[in-house]
C-alpha cells in the first residue's frame, strides 16, 4: 500500500503542476514547484556548459536552444511521471493482469501503464479485475486529456512569442540595434512637432509591455525564448522603454510626459513581477549606466536635435531616482538569463540590423552586390 500511495502522490503532484503551468493564468507564489525547480536546475546546468564555448555568437545560438528543448523535456517528464505513478499504483496493490507469458512484475505494470497512457490498445497485457479496469480507463482518459492540453498549449505559446518579437523587431529602425533610449528619442523627436510621434510610440509600447507582463507571468518559459538576432531581446526592449519613459517624464512637460508616466509604470511593474517569478532579487549594476558626463552628452545631443526640454537643474537627480526603481531588477534578470542590458547610448555609430546582411559581409560590400552578380532569373 505504501508503494501505491507513492504512485497516487506522484500522479497528483504532476497533475497539479501541469494545471498551474498551463491552465492557471496567474503567478503561483508557492515556495516549491516541480516546473520551477526543473527550469532553474536545467538552466543553471545549460548556461554553465555554454559558458565554456569561446565564441559569443555560438554561445547565443546554444542558449537559444534551451527554451524549446526545455519545453519538450518538461512535457516528457510530466508524461513519464504519470506513467510511473500509475505503474506504482498497480504494482503496490498487485493488480491481476492477463499476459501472454504469465508475468506480473513491475516492468509488466510499467508497460501496461505506458500503452494505456498513450492509448495504444495493444491488448497483450490486460487488466482482469473491475478496479484494474477502472484505473486503466482513468489513465487512458488522462493520457488523452494530456495530449489535448499540449496541443492547445503550444499554439498559445507560439502566438505570445510572435506578438512579443514583432514589436522587438520594430525597434530596429526606431531605436537601433541593440536599441537605446538616446536613439529612440533622437529618431522619433527631431523637434517639438514630432513629440506627437513619441506620444503615440509610448502608447503603443505601454500596451506591448502589458502583454509581456501577462504572457510571461502566465507562461514563464517564454522568458527563455530568445530573439532572432543576437543584439535583440525582450529585456533590451524593456530597458529602452524604461529609459526613454523615465527621461521624458522628468525632462519634458505636457501630454507626452503624462503618457511616459503610464508607460513607465507598467514597464516597471513588468520587470519587478518577472523578477519575482524567477526569484531574482534586484542586483546593483557594477557600473553607472548614465554617469554625469554621459548625461551631459545626452542632454546636449537632444538639445541640438531640437527636443523641447525643461530648463531645470533637478532633471539629472530626478532621473537618477527613477533609475534606481528599475535598473537593479533589470540587472538581476540580465545576469540570470545571460542577456545584455543596453547602455543609454553608444559613443560610436552602429549599423542597424536592416542595413546589413550575411551576404554583404561575405562579399565585403556595404552598398549591395556588384553589377552582373544578380541571379539571371530575376
| Domain residue ranges in the chain | 2-151, 176-348
Predicted local confidence at residue 94, as pLDDT: 85
Predicted local confidence at residue 377, as pLDDT: 37
**Contacts with 351 (C-beta within 8 Å, 6 or more apart), sequence order:** 177
* Residue 195 near residue 256, CB atoms below 8 Å: yes
Residue-wise pLDDT for 150-203, tens only, equals 888 888 888 999 999 998 988 888 888 888 998 888 875 555 556 777 888 899
Closest among 79, 103, 76, 101 to 91, alpha carbons compared: 103
Distance CA 352, CA 219 (A): 31
Closest among 313, 326, 205 to 259, alpha carbons compared: 205
Three cell numbers, residue 365? 560590400
Confidence (pTM): 0.84
Distance CA 293, CA 123 (A): 77
The H or E element containing residue 43 is: helix 34-50
Percent of the chain with pLDDT over 90: 42
**Contacts with 37 (C-beta within 8 Å, 6 or more apart), sequence order:** none
Q: What size, in residues, is the chain?
A: 378
- What's the CATH code, domain 2-151? 1.10.287.70
Distance CA 108, CA 97 (A): 9
Asked if the model's pLDDT at residue 369 lies above 50, the reply is no
Percent of the chain with pLDDT over 70: 89
**Structure-derived torsion over alpha carbons of residues 273, 247, 286, 349, reported in degrees to the nearest 10:** 120
DSSP strands (E only) in the chain: 97-99, 125-127
Predicted local confidence at residue 9, as pLDDT: 93
Three cell numbers, residue 274? 518577472
**Contacts with 201 (C-beta within 8 Å, 6 or more apart), sequence order:** 174, 184, 188
Higher-pLDDT residue of 364, 246: 246
DSSP string, 116-179: HHTT----SEEE-SHHHHHHHHHHHHHHHHHHHHHHHHHHHHHHHHHHHHHHHHHHHHHHTTTT
Closest among 16, 170, 175, 163 to 85, alpha carbons compared: 16
Average pLDDT score over the chain = 85
Asked if the model's pLDDT at residue 322 lies above 70, the reply is yes
Amino acid at each position: 500500500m505504501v508503494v501505491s500511495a507513492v504512485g497516487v502522490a506522484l500522479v497528483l503532484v504532476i497533475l497539479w503542476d501541469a494545471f498551474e503551468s498551463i491552465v492557471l493564468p496567474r503567478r503561483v507564489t508557492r515556495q516549491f514547484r516541480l516546473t520551477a525547480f526543473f527550469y532553474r536546475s536545467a538552466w543553471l546546468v545549460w548556461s554553465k556548459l555554454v559558458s565554456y564555448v569561446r565564441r559569443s555568437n555560438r554561445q547565443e545560438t546554444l542558449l537559444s536552444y534551451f527554451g524549446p528543448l526545455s519545453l519538450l523535456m518538461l512535457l516528457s517528464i510530466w508524461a513519464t511521471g504519470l506513467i510511473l505513478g500509475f505503474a506504482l499504483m498497480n504494482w503496490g496493490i498487485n493488480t491481476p493482469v492477463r499476459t501472454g507469458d504469465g508475468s506480473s512484475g513491475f516492468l509488466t505494470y510499467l508497460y501496461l501503464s505506458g500503452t494505456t497512457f498513450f492509448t495504444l490498445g495493444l491488448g497483450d497485457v490486460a487488466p482482469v479485475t473491475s478496479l484494474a479496469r477502472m484505473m486503466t480507463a482513468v489513465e487512458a482518459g488522462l493520457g488523452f486529456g494530456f495530449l489535448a492540453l499540449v496541443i492547445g498549449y503550444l499554439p498559445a505559446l507560439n502566438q505570445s512569442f510572435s506578438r512579443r518579437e514583432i514589436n522587438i523587431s520594430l525597434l530596429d529602425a526606431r531605436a537601433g540595434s541593440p536599441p537605446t533610449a538616446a536613439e529612440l528619442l533622437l529618431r522619433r523627436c527631431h523637434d517639438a512637432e514630432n513629440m506627437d510621434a513619441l506620444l503615440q510610440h509610448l502608447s503603443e509600447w505601454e500596451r506591448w509591455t502589458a502583454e509581456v507582463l501577462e504572457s510571461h507571468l502566465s507562461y514563464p518559459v517564454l522568458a527563455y525564448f530568445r530573439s532572432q538576432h543576437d543584439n535583440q531581446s525582450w529585456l533590451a526592449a524593456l530597458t529602452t522603454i524604461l529609459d526613454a519613459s523615465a527621461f521624458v517624464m522628468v525632462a519634458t512637460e505636457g501630454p507626452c510626459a503624462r503618457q511616459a508616466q503610464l508607460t513607465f509604470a507598467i514597464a516597471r511593474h513588468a520587470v519587478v513581477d518577472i523578477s519575482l517569478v524567477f526569484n531574482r532579487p534586484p542586483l546593483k549594476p557594477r557600473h553607472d549606466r548614465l554617469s554625469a558626463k554621459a548625461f551631459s552628452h545626452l542632454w546636449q545631443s537632444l538639445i541640438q536635435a531640437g527636443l523641447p526640454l525643461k530648463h531645470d537643474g533637478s532633471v539629472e537627480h530626478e532621473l537618477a531616482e527613477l533609475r534606481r526603481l528599475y535598473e537593479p531588477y533589470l540587472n538581476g534578470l540580465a545576469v540570470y538569463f545571460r542577456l545584455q542590458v543596453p547602455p543609454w547610448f553608444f559613443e560610436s555609430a552602429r549599423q542597424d540590423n536592416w542595413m546589413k546582411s550575411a551576404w554583404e559581409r561575405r562579399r565585403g560590400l556595404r552598398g549591395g552586390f556588384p553589377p552582373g552578380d544578380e541571379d539571371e532569373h530575376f
